[in-house]
Structure 1
């Protein structure tokens, strides 16, 4: 669907189904009932209720990132189709990825893991996407299987950029170097997390990012990410840079290979302690793949693979031997081609669909037992 912000009107948008709910907004598969009455070109619509100031702030930040990606397109990153804003809602449209996400796909495999060749294919495309983001000065900071979608063609697309941040790319690697003091910092970090109040969400909110700006400096001190994917430098509060994405790439690769993340504990505190102190375990024989993971999961970011020369350094690893980076998008037969409407949905509806505004109004309506019997605004 090719559209513009002036052509996206929520009143004429009909949702075919609910695709998911996240920290930033609710995602629907929709079509324009006027320009596309047959729903032949559906697209994804992410919508935020403006009653939540934090969600709105993050939503507008994400659309800023998407606008930049639309100006500098990459085959493994989304583009912004349109935005719409009313007194109640803020919404933005993106292309629909019909193949679901990488987490769903992995669980569909016989052993819940991918083969080495499949891992190589997906990692190569994810690596190119991260390389493009970093070249624009954007640290992704939320890499995980649920945020890697499969296009209709079988190629990947990263999604969810509300935790991303802009950093100045250094002109020399030494720019990031600092005096390492591993042992004291580990002890300080563990004391900090013993005192830290538990939160219900596994995803850490970007509470320290207050201004939506693309001039963010060389390092960020925000505590953001998903527990099992958070890097040691984020936990330590040292300040972090693009190397956090290479750490997350290592965790992702481990999960694709073994079906579980390497540092998951019984609690948030134990998970963070494992990230700081524990080395990943590699059952089976050593291989180029396990060596790649090991070098990505180096706790000192200045020694981590990719720190000095970015994605170019990782592409040179032996695991990627034989990959033709310049023609990745020309692969006509990716490992898995989604069936028609193969994506996971949480709600199915009739072909006529439903209004997205009505969906939220229904959520706001209290259940009958929650309403005073004399409430004249409740229709029983």
Structure 2
């Protein structure tokens, strides 16, 4: 959706000891045709709400501004990278159950806070879970999130005594072979992770971010997308608990549970295939299985929200109120940021020039036929 710059305030922080992340969306970019401008403004509005109700595992908006060409907003810099990169740094590319327990607990708390505000996240995946300097996590990228009505929040988080709903009608089922265009994700150097293609947030009906108890938008990341999103039945907070199950599985086994050779096969597995578990049963595997329940009304977390998940055996004995007090998380980013500081102090760039250079065509190697081609070709062909 945009470009993230690592920046510092030259007037207040000339030594660049406290850098922050500046996310920039170019208004004239081709991406605007894919609703990037609308999504960017929505993300800023979500971050503004989070600033007014701060949470240790969610980002705070440091500020935002807009010019004729650019829309920008700043959030704290997380030097530990994302959870996907951290997993790949492990010797066998997986986390141990105690480490999974720590990270899942903080993610559950973050999702619980979002849901209490009536926000369904809809894009939980390792790349969107960043590691702060303290070693604790923070979620990022809220452009695909959605606001649900207060009545929906109350129904989902308070009605623990009600019976689960009956299965949704199948007449609205969508053919998964009808592919919706994807937005290409940036390549990560040194990572061999399977494609994690984001699905464009194209609505099946007119989009509204403020009203309605269910969303019918087809959004998410294909290996993390829930069955109800694929079916087009409408979805609620339970999509985040499904994604938490996929994330837990990937942290345990190093791969997502429903990955196929292509999108169609992946979606078929999401709809029809149960997750495969290796080895003896364990509380973690039981938690994953209950989160990956195909029918959302039977999924763990549907009836009582995060409270239901916190009560699971996998988290037995965990002091939820003391998570922020943990001084030695599983991974602590290095505090030796001299190289980073020196790079920032070398001199800044003009962000407008940066985007202008991106638009410039690469200089082709000259050949006798090039002049003739230049006479007849449009600029866009280069």
Q: TM-score range by the shorter chain?
A: 0.7 to 0.9
Matches within 5 A, 1:163-174: 163-169=144-150, 170=152, 171-173=154-156
Query: In the alignment, is residue 45 of structure 1 matched against residue 22 of structure 2?
Result: yes
Cα distance, 1:361–1:212 mapped onto 2, change above 3 Å: farther
Cα distance, 1:172–1:82 mapped onto 2, change above 3 Å: closer
Q: What is the match of residue 31 of structure 1?
A: 8
Q: What secondary structure, in the 3-state scheme, does the structure 1 residue paired with 2:21 have?
A: strand
Q: What is the match of residue 205 of structure 1?
A: 200
Q: What is the match of residue 19 of structure 1?
A: none
Matches within 5 A, 1:1-380: 24-52=1-29, 53=32, 54-169=35-150, 170=152, 171-173=154-156, 178-180=165-167, 184=170, 188-189=173-174, 192-196=175-179, 199=182, 201=184, 202-208=197-203, 213=209, 215-340=210-335, 351-369=346-364
- Alpha-carbon distance in 2 for matches of 1:359, 1:318: 51
Offset at residue 340 of structure 1 (A): 3.1
Contact kept? 2:207, 2:217, Cα under 8 Å: no
Tell me the TM-score normalised to structure 2 length.
0.84
Offset at residue 249 of structure 1 (A): 0.2
Q: What secondary structure, in the 3-state scheme, does the structure 1 residue paired with 2:74 have?
A: strand
Query: Deviation per CA, 1:245-265, whole angstroms, max 9, x where unpaired?
Result: 000000000000000000000
Contact kept? 2:300, 2:308, Cα under 8 Å: yes
Number of residue pairs matched?
341
Q: What secondary structure, in the 3-state scheme, does the structure 2 residue paired with 1:45 have?
A: strand
Offset at residue 55 of structure 1 (A): 1.3
Offset at residue 44 of structure 1 (A): 0.3
Tell me the TM-score normalised to structure 1 length.
0.84
- Alpha-carbon distance in 2 for matches of 1:330, 1:106: 23
Offset at residue 200 of structure 1 (A): 6.2
Contact kept? 1:100, 1:149, Cα under 8 Å: yes
Q: What is the match of residue 190 of structure 2?
A: none
- Alpha-carbon distance in 1 for matches of 2:254, 2:69: 41
- Alpha-carbon distance in 2 for matches of 1:133, 1:181: 26
Q: What is the match of residue 380 of structure 2?
A: none
- Alpha-carbon distance in 2 for matches of 1:327, 1:178: 36
Q: What secondary structure, in the 3-state scheme, does the structure 2 residue paired with 1:92 have?
A: strand
Query: Deviation per CA, 1:171-196, whole angstroms, max 9, x where unpaired?
Result: 335799654157x569x43xx12243
- Alpha-carbon distance in 2 for matches of 1:200, 1:352: 33
Q: What secondary structure, in the 3-state scheme, does the structure 2 residue paired with 1:305 have?
A: coil
- Alpha-carbon distance in 1 for matches of 2:57, 2:91: 27
Contact kept? 2:7, 2:19, Cα under 8 Å: yes
- Alpha-carbon distance in 1 for matches of 2:64, 2:168: 47
Offset at residue 41 of structure 1 (A): 1.4
Aligned Cα root-mean-square deviation (Å): 2.4
Larger mean Cα displacement after TM superposition, 292-301 or 332-341: 332-341
- Alpha-carbon distance in 1 for matches of 2:15, 2:279: 52
Query: Deviation per CA, 1:84-134, whole angstroms, max 9, x where unpaired?
Result: 111110000000001000000000001100000000000000000000000
